[in-house]
Structure 1
C-alpha cells in the first residue's frame, strides 16, 4: 500500500498498453501521476537541481514557458514545496490546463501574439525576459536548455523502458523541448546501443529543420530549435500532420483509450515508421506523454475539429 507525503512522490512507471493488432507497438503511459503527464519528471528534477545549486531560495518565484503540461507539473511541485510560480503560455494552451494551473496557485500569463520569426514560443520567451529583467526574485528554469530536463529521463524513463523491454528494437519519442527524447536516447546508447531511436515531430515544428507553420494542438513541436537537441543520438525522424494526430486520438478513443494530442502524434508517427520498416517483427515501444481530458475542447470536440481541419 503506497503512502505518500508529496504529490510528486507517486508515479506509475511500468504500465504499457499493447496496441496490437492495430499497431505492433507497446505504449508506455506516463500520465499516471498527480500532474497527469510525463512532464512531472522534468519538473521535479529541474526544481531539485535549482535547489542544489542554491539558485532557488525562500522568496524566489519560479517562472517558465509552457504549452500546458510542464506548467501544470511545475504548479504542483512549486505549491507542494512552498514556492510561487508564474507560467507564461499562449492562446493555444487548452483552457483546462490554464484552470488547473490557477487552481494549483500559479499565476498564468497568456501571450496573444506570436513573434514574427519564432512564433508563440519566441513571444513567450521575450515575455519571460521582460519579467526577469524587472524582478530579480524571478528564476527562469529554462526547460529548453536545462540539463536537468534530459537528466530526469536518463535517470527514470530510459531505465524503466529497458527494465520492461530489455530486447527493445526501436523506441519512439515525441520531440518538443527534446528533454524526454535526449534523456532516453542517451540511456539507450549506453544500455542497448542496437536500439533505434526515432523522433516524432509535428509538422510546422522547426526542431529538425522543417519549415515553420501554424500549429494549433499544444504539447509538441517548437518554433525555435531546442538547445538540448543532439541529432547524432537520433536514428530517424517522422513528421506528423495535426490532421493525423486528431485521427489517431479518435481511433484510440474507439478502443476506450482517451489519450492526449501529444500521444496521438507519437502513435501516428510510430505507425507510419513501422509500416515502412516491417515493424511486426520488431519489439517497438513509444512514450505516451499524456491523456485526453485536457483536449476535450479541441481534439475531441467535433465543432473545433470541423472549424480547423478537413477530415
Structure 2
C-alpha cells in the first residue's frame, strides 16, 4: 500500500499583529465543487477595513472611543482592531454574548454593557440601539461604528475577494453561499468578485423572523443565537446583490452544523451549519459550478445550544427545501426562492443617527 504524499510546507509568515493572522480563512474542500472558508472571526475583515478607512479619512483619531452593538464576533473583531490602532472600544453586547467572549473583550480593554436575557431577537436588538443612543447623548466624542448601516464595513472584504481569486483561479462560475446578517460580508465579497469580472451567483441565508427578506411574521425563538438575520432593518443589506434566498429554521441550521463536524471534522458556528446545509443542496442541483461556503466563526459559543444536543440533530442528508415563487408562500422549516437580484421595499429604519 502506497503511503499518502507528505504535503510540502511553505514558510509561515510572521505577522505584526494577531488580526493579520486571524483574518484569513482556512479553505477546506468538502466535496466535488464545494469549498468551505473556515474563519475564526470573519468580521476582522470588516472591522479592520472600516477602522483603517475611517483613520485615513480623519473621521476618527487615535485615542478616540469607538462604540457599537454586537452579538459576538464583530465585538471581538472591533476590540482587536482598536487594540491594534490605539483606539478605545465600547461594546453594547447582545444577551447571547457568553462569558468567554466577554472576558476576552474586557481583557482587551473594551467596556462591555450587556443586555439582560431576552426571548425576543427584536427586543434584544432594540434595547441595544436605545442604549447606544443614550451613550452618544452623554458622550458625543464617541464614534458610532454603525456596522448595520455604514457601508465602510464593505471595504475589508475586497481583500478576501483577492484571496478567493488566488485560491480558486479556475472557477469562473462561482456560487457564494453565506448568511446575510448585516449584509457586508456576503455582499462585500460578491460585489468585489463581480467587479473583477467574475461571474458570481450569491446565495443568502435568513432565519425565520427576520425583517430583512420578509419573514418577520414567523417566530423561531432559538434563532436568537444565529446572528444571520434581524428584527430591525439593516441599511447595509443590498437586496439587489442576491440571486437566491434560503430561509432556514434553527433545527435545520443545527443539522447542518452537527453534520459539518460529523462528516468533515469542521467545528463551526450555526450560520456555517446553515450554509453547509444549503450549499450541499445547491451543489447537488448545479454540479457544474464551484460553491464557496462561508463559515463566519467557530462552534465554541454554540456548544451548549447545538453540539451538546447532537443526538437530537436531524440528518441533514434527508432534508429538502420547499421551493416558493413569492413571499406569500414562505413557510418553515426551510424555503428557497429565486430572488433574482430584485430590490425589496423595507420599512423605515429603526437605527438612525442621533440628532
* TM-score, normalisation: structure 1: 0.86
Superposition RMSD on alpha carbons, in Å? 2.5
Which residue matches 2:236?
A: 228
Q: Is the 8 A contact 2:28 2:37 kept in 1?
A: yes
Counterpart-to-counterpart distance in 2, 1:25 and 1:138: 43
1:6 aligns with 2:9: no
Change (3 A) 1:205 1:51: same
Q: Which runs of 5+ in 2 are unaligned?
A: 1-11, 314-355
Q: Is the 8 A contact 1:172 1:285 kept in 2?
A: yes
1:294 aligns with 2:298: no
Counterpart-to-counterpart distance in 1, 2:273 and 2:98: 16
Q: Is the 8 A contact 1:150 1:181 kept in 2?
A: no
Deviation at 1:17, TM superposition (A): 1.3
Which residue matches 1:198?
A: 203
Counterpart-to-counterpart distance in 1, 2:282 and 2:49: 32
Change (3 A) 1:93 1:137: same
Deviation at 1:26, TM superposition (A): 0.9
Counterpart-to-counterpart distance in 1, 2:306 and 2:57: 40
Counterpart-to-counterpart distance in 1, 2:159 and 2:202: 17
Q: Where do 1:1-311 residues align within 5 Å?
A: 1-11=12-22, 13=24, 15-20=26-31, 24-29=33-38, 31=39, 36-112=40-116, 118-153=122-157, 155-166=158-169, 167=171, 168-211=173-216, 213=219, 214=221, 215-254=223-262, 255-275=264-284, 278-302=285-309
Deviation at 1:157, TM superposition (A): 1.8
Deviation at 1:114, TM superposition (A): 6.3
Q: Is the 8 A contact 1:174 1:262 kept in 2?
A: yes
Deviation at 1:41, TM superposition (A): 0.6
Change (3 A) 1:297 1:107: farther
Deviation at 1:79, TM superposition (A): 2.0
Q: Is the 8 A contact 2:69 2:94 kept in 1?
A: no
Counterpart-to-counterpart distance in 2, 1:244 and 1:117: 19
Deviation at 1:11, TM superposition (A): 4.2
Aligned residues: 296
Which residue matches 1:309?
A: none
Q: Is the 8 A contact 2:267 2:298 kept in 1?
A: yes
Q: Is the 8 A contact 1:115 1:122 kept in 2?
A: no
Q: Which runs of 5+ in 1 are unaligned?
A: 307-311
* TM-score, normalisation: structure 2: 0.76
Deviation at 1:209, TM superposition (A): 1.8
Q: After superposition, give the CA deviation of every residue in 1:4-23 in whole Å (9 maximum; x if it has no partner).
A: 222223246463211127xx
Counterpart-to-counterpart distance in 1, 2:120 and 2:24: 40
